[in-house]
């Protein structure tokens, strides 16, 4: 699974073949075919693995966040790292491929919905946000949408300095919105 995700992140959907993944994983083609007889089966299993890995990565990084002043910026920076790293790049490859592949689409959509719910829930928790207050749920979702968009902007060029400045500014607005009410 790690070899499949790494291949997706480095070589994209078209460069991720069962032969290349077996070679990268150091297993025989026969062993790979025994467990995953088709590229679709291999990638579907990788999609599931990828989802679990993304959720585990979020939880691991969340445990190291500071408390008090600067927490919002730290939460946003953590999320931005998730949306600019290799797991996100692999996920993007799957999203693009799933757009035109019904079998892959059927596997990717529920997984991405689950990851989206978990990301939202965790962001609410990390920010100490009260979603019973008007506008808070929307502010959290806007934050995740903003960060995902910044992750896309980072694909072709290093957008780090602009992203950090934008997120610092957004953190101030978000803190105000979360405290208002």
Per the structure, how many domains does the chain have? 1
CB 80 within 8 A of CB 167: yes
Express the helix, strand and coil content of the chain in percent, nearest 5 each.
80, 0, 20
In terms of residue numbers, what domain contains 40?
2-179
pLDDT digits (tens, 9 = 90+) for 93-125: 888 888 998 988 888 888 888 888 888 998 999
pLDDT digits (tens, 9 = 90+) for 37-54: 888 788 778 877 877 777
Q: What mean pLDDT is predicted for residues 162-181?
A: 91
> What's the pLDDT at 181?
57
List Cβ neighbours of 9 (8 Å cut-off, separation of 6 or more). 86, 87, 89, 90, 93
Q: Say what the pTM is.
A: 0.80
Please say if the pLDDT value at position 158 is more than 70. yes
Q: Tell me the C-alpha distance between 170 and 31, whole Å.
A: 49
Look up the CATH number of the domain holding residue 150: 1.10.357.10
């Amino acid at each position: 699974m790690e070899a499949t995700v790494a291949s997706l992140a480095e070589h994209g959907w078209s460069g991720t073949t069962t032969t290349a993944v077996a070679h990268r994983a150091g297993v025989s083609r026969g062993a790979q075919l025994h467990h995953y007889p088709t590229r679709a089966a291999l990638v579907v299993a990788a999609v599931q693995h990828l989802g679990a890995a993304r959720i585990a990565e979020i939880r691991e990084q969340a445990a190291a966040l500071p408390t008090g002043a600067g927490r919002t910026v730290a939460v946003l920076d953590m999320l931005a790292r998730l949306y600019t790293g290799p797991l996100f790049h692999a996920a993007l490859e799957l999203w693009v491929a799933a757009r035109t592949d019904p079998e892959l689409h059927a596997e990717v959509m529920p997984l991405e919905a689950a990851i989206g719910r978990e990301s939202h829930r965790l962001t609410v928790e990390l920010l100490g946000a009260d979603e019973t207050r008007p506008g808070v749920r929307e502010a959290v979702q806007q934050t995740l949408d903003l960060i995902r968009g910044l992750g896309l902007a980072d694909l072709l060029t290093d957008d780090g300095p602009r992203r950090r400045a934008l997120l610092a500014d957004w953190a101030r607005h978000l803190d105000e919105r979360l405290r208002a009410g």
